């Protein structure tokens, strides 16, 4: 008999739950509801909401929302997007996560209160990620985005530095970056750094390591576009090499269930609980067939 567990700490973070609840409330009133970018980095959840009347728009198709309702997802948007939506006569349903909103305000205040000739705003984050685009907008697109150590050469180490982090980056990566900058800055440079990493994500790493170690085989369920999913799956694999990344139920390989006694199912902050439950049901079916054969 195979024991199957779903990780209690996996699944949507509070910001995503809140955005989806707002979308569903609006859809109950009427459809369609437009959303800017995928509401969550999970194709199956996007499809579920699409079937209820949610239509995803991108920067090049935003005109379609003229005079309609548009939901801003948890990642937030730069001020320029709000201006565009205002010009289009759109009713904005703002589901920016409060944690992201606070970070946006901190970046804006730092940018506006520190003279540009003396200070550089640096954001540790993924280039092109929606949250990072929203943060850059708070600094009139004058901040430096650092994704890897190679990007550090873009910083002027003779000028003061104000460092922030995208909410979903790893704490270890942020601390390494601080050490790297401290080693390179000139003696008279002021270096301010604010830990703006969301604990809804950071705390999942130690939890997921323990969960992965405690099972013979692990199925990590994620969307193909989820960067948080990739980071958490890496941690799973480090803790338990018998970990498998799956995007949908059909990706479960029955061979990986042979000769094992426990299966762990976990996922990213963008993985819906209903999907992990379906994965558990499928594994149960496969396991009972293996027992009967």
Q: Which of 104, 138, 168, 170 binds ligand SF4 (CB under 6 A)?
A: 168
Neighbour count for residue 15 (Cβ, 10 Å): 25
202 belongs to the binding site for ligand SF4 (CB under 6 A): no
* 260 vs 254: CA distance, rounded Å: 11
Q: Which is nearer to ligand SF4, 90 or 100 (CB)?
A: 100
198 belongs to the binding site for ligand SF4 (CB under 6 A): yes
Task: Kindly state the DSSP code that residue 271 receives in the 8-state scheme.
Answer: -
Is-contact 136 143, C-beta < 8 A?
A: yes
Q: Has 131 been annotated as catalytic?
A: yes
23 belongs to the binding site for ligand SF4 (CB under 6 A): no
* Collapsed DSSP state (helix, strand, coil) of residue 97: coil
Q: Which is nearer to ligand SF4, 201 or 257 (CB)?
A: 201
Which H or E run includes 124? Answer: strand 119-124
Q: Where are the beta strands (DSSP E) in 210-257?
A: 217-221, 243-246
Q: Which of 26, 45, 77, 131 is catalytic?
A: 131
Is-contact 18 95, C-beta < 8 A?
A: yes
String marking each residue 253-292 x if it binds ligand SF4 according to CB under 6 A: ----------------x-----------------------
Task: Kindly state the DSSP code that residue 148 receives in the 8-state scheme.
Answer: S
Q: Which is nearer to ligand SF4, 167 or 226 (CB)?
A: 167
Retrieve residue 282's tokens. 């499928």
String marking each residue 105-144 x if it binds ligand SF4 according to CB under 6 A: ----------------------------------------
Q: Which is nearer to ligand SF4, 167 or 271 (CB)?
A: 167
* 278 vs 116: CA distance, rounded Å: 52
Residues near ligand SF4 (CB under 6 A):
13-16, 74, 97, 99-100, 167-168, 198, 200-201, 269
């Amino acid at each position: 008999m195979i024991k199957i567990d779903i990780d209690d700490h996996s699944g949507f973070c509070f910001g995503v739950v809140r955005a989806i609840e707002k979308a569903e409330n609006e859809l109950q009133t009427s459809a369609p509801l437009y959303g800017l970018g995928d509401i969550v980095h999970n194709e199956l959840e996007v499809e579920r909401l699409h079937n209820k009347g949610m239509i995803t728009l991108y920067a090049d198709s935003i005109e379609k929302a003229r005079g309609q309702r548009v939901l801003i997802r948890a990642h937030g948007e730069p001020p320029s997007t709000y201006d565009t939506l205002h010009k289009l006569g759109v009713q904005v349903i703002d589901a920016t996560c409060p944690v992201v909103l606070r970070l946006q305000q901190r970046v804006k205040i730092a940018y506006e209160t520190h003279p540009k000739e003396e200070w550089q705003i640096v954001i540790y984050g993924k280039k092109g990620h929606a949250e990072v685009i929203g943060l850059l907008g708070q600094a009139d697109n004058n901040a430096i985005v650092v994704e890897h150590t190679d990007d550090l050469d873009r910083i002027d180490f003779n000028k003061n530095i104000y460092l922030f982090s995208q909410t979903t980056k790893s704490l270890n990566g942020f601390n390494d970056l601080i050490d790297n900058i401290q080693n390179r800055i000139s003696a008279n440079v002021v270096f301010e750094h604010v830990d703006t990493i969301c604990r809804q994500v950071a705390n999942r790493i130690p939890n997921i390591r323990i969960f992965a170690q405690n099972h013979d085989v692990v199925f990590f369920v994620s969307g193909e576009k989820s960067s948080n999913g990739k980071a958490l799956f890496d941690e799973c694999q480090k803790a338990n090499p018998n970990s498998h990344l799956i995007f949908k139920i059909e990706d479960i390989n029955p061979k990986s269930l042979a000769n094992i006694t426990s299966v762990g199912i976990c996922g990213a902050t963008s993985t819906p609980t209903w999907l992990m439950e379906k994965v558990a049901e499928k594994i149960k079916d496969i396991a009972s067939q293996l027992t009967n054969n």
